[in-house]
Amino acid sequence: MKKIYSLNILLILGMLCMPGLSSADVYIKYKRHTDAVKIMGLEKPEENVDEEIWITRKGYRSDDPKSSVIMLRYEPKVIRIDHREKTYVQRDLNKDELQIRITEGKDPEKTAAMKGMMGNMMKIEASVQTTDEQKKIGSWNCKKYFLSVKTFMGQFDNEIWATEDLKMDPVLYNQLTSLMISEFPGTDNPMKEVRAEINKIKGIQVKIISTRKILNQTRQSVTDLLEFKESKAPENILATPKGYKEKILPEQKINFPVLPSQPANHAGGKDAGASTVK
């Protein structure tokens, strides 16, 4: 399931609140610093990553030194690129991969219960608190918000500074949000609720201070907007790199253990009849 969340959750949710007025392709550049942390004796070093994003009428692409993500509007599909392995994986967004195939048993109630459990794991909840605090970050006038996001991966608490000084084409905005919502299969109505909550954040996110708690250890990351501009995207921006090989992933399948059934009732006994659950 990790690959499902390979896209930065905060970036996805952040894109849901972009305003729209301009009509050109959009280029965005962020830098992200993540603190080092030690969990269960394992040390995770600090990370410093620059991420470049192109948003066009044909699709979306984000790049960092290790990986890229391409989302195509008209197919629609998402392509994840691993620059270290020089491979890529494609996924059809019309297929609900998060409805992971559960081996159908003879008991439909048990099967339904397992599907319900998987559905609960995929839930995303978001809560936004608006403040009156404002300040200038770089050349942008920003307002402060608090965003709490709950997923099966844990809770992310975020301090967000957003600006309405920057604008984005509404066609690109609607296209992007539709694609990104489809990245969370099985969450149609819930994601509409999340989008409604995220829309309380007005403008482009300029600074995000994100805190996540993992096994009583806190890890913080700070994301800063470096550049936002209208510009014509490179011609092959939505193409996979030459020489990279497609990686075909096996179908995901979960065989849940057989749950114990009710003890069989034996005919002819008064006690047996009394133990029957109706």
User: Looking at residue 68, what is its pLDDT?
Assistant: 94
Asked whether the beta carbons of 108 and 163 are under 8 A apart, the reply is no
Weakly modelled stretches of the chain, pLDDT under 50: 1-8, 10, 16, 20-22, 97-104, 185-188, 252-278
Give all domains of the chain, ordered by start, each with its CATH number: 2-259 (2.50.20.10)
Amino acid occupying residue 19:
P
Model pLDDT, residue 198: 81
Q: Is the Cβ–Cβ distance between 146 and 126 less than 8 Å? A: no
Q: To the nearest 10°, the Cα dihedral for 75, 76, 78, 79?
A: 0
Tell me how far apart the 2 most distant CA atoms of the chain are, in Å: 85
Per-residue pLDDT reduced to its tens digit, 78-103: 899 999 999 999 987 665 544 444 44
Burial tier of 71 (Cβ tally within 10 Å: 0-12, 13-18, 19+) = buried
Distant-in-sequence contacts of 102-107, Cβ < 8 A, 24+ apart:
102/254, 102/256, 103/253, 103/254, 103/255, 103/256, 105/256, 105/258, 107/259, 107/261
SS3 93: coil
Q: Which two tokens stand for residue 243?
A: 């020489």
Question: What's the mean per-residue pLDDT of the chain?
Answer: 74
At residue 70, the pLDDT reads 92
The pLDDT of residue 243: 96
Q: Check residue 174 and give its pLDDT.
A: 62
